[in-house]
Amino acid sequence: MKKRVGILISGRGSNMRALVEAAKAPDYPAEIALILSNRPDAAGLDYARTEGIPAAVVDHKPFRKDREGFERTMQAALESHGVEIVALAGFMRLVTPWFVEQWHDRLINIHPALLPSFKGLDTHQRAIDAGVKLHGATVHLVRAEMDEGPILMQGAVPVLPDDSEETLAARVLAVEHRIYPQALALLCSDAVTVEGLRAKTPVADQPPLIA
Ligand code: GAR
């Protein structure tokens, strides 16, 4: 049985698109049941609609002083679409411990850095400024602390001497689009066991993908 996945977005939605494309394969273990955006103008919503995937907006603005109300409204939308696993894909709101608890080990995120380095924003410029030679992206199970949680998959890219934030971001994004569908497939095929901080998967002990 395919797992029903809800994807949360805030903007462009290119990772969402990679997941939607992957889920078209007959043997992919997930189907995309809902695209949910906190921004009515998210570009990714148009794509979801053209693909015929249910799309919904829960605008965070009316809930500015009521984060719980915002998340309960999202939760109701996810439940009404029978969502079993949630994938954050450029969803730029911090989620609360309550939401994380609802989706324990069923909530994943993609972060544009090799965690635990460079949590937070502006990861590419910070990687350049730090002089690291490898950078990349991480798919992880979400925990209450921001950008923390058992790592499912990572992909690494070189940082080149002439890189700008834009060129490095583009190289990382290409890796994001490769690893996110793979990591979601692992989770949806029940191939992940979690022991403390470690997510064990069939590929967990392999070296990172270096693009
Ligand atoms: C992606 O690079 C994703 O890793 C990042 O936002 C971008 C969204 O692009 N996420 C975060 O920074 C989360 N803290 P997309 O909308 O085209 O997928």
Q: What is the pLDDT of residues 183-199, one digit of tens each?
A: 999 999 999 999 999 99
Q: Is the CB of 15 under 6 A from ligand 1?
A: yes
- Ligand 1 pocket check: which of 115, 173, 184 to mutate, most ligand atoms within 8 Å of Cβ? 173
Beta-carbon contacts of 76 under 8 Å, excluding residues fewer than 6 positions away, are: none
Distance 166 CA to ligand 1 centre (A): 13
Cα 35 to the center of its chain, rounded Å: 13
Residues 139 and 110: beta-carbon distance below 8 Å: yes
Residues 29 and 22: beta-carbon distance below 8 Å: no
Residue 123 has pLDDT above 60, yes or no: yes
Residues 37 and 44: beta-carbon distance below 8 Å: yes
Which of residues 34 and 202 earns the better pLDDT score?
Answer: 34
- Ligand 1 pocket check: which of 107, 110, 125 to mutate, most ligand atoms within 8 Å of Cβ? 110
* Protein residue with least CA distance to atom 14, ligand 1: 111
Distance 58 CA to ligand 1 centre (A): 19
Distance 177 CA to ligand 1 centre (A): 11
Say which CATH architecture domain 1-103 belongs to.
3-Layer(aba) Sandwich (3.40)
Distance 63 CA to ligand 1 centre (A): 23
Give whole-number Cα distances, 6 to 136, 148, 170, in Å. 24, 20, 25
Q: Model confidence over 64-115: pLDDT tens digits? A: 889 999 999 999 999 999 999 999 999 999 999 999 999 999 999 999 999 9
Beta-carbon contacts of 123 under 8 Å, excluding residues fewer than 6 positions away, are: 111, 112, 113, 135
Q: Could you tell me what percent of the chain has a pLDDT over 90?
A: 93
Domain limits, the chain: 1-103, 110-211
Give φ, ψ of 37 to 5 degrees. Answer: -120, 145
- Enter the pTM of the model: 0.96
Q: Which CATH superfamily is domain 110-211 in?
A: Formyl transferase, N-terminal domain (3.40.50.170)
Residue 205 has pLDDT above 50, yes or no: no
- Ligand 1 pocket check: which of 15, 36, 140 to mutate, most ligand atoms within 8 Å of Cβ? 15
Q: Which of 60, 111, 124, 140 is catalytic?
A: 111
Q: Is the CB of 139 under 6 A from ligand 1?
A: no
Q: Is the CB of 155 under 6 A from ligand 1?
A: no
Beta-carbon contacts of 54 under 8 Å, excluding residues fewer than 6 positions away, are: 33, 34, 35, 48, 81
Structural tokens at position 175: 């890796």
Question: How many alpha carbons fall within 13 Å on the CB side of residue 20?
Answer: 24
The answer to whether domain 1-103 and domain 110-211 are alike in fold is yes
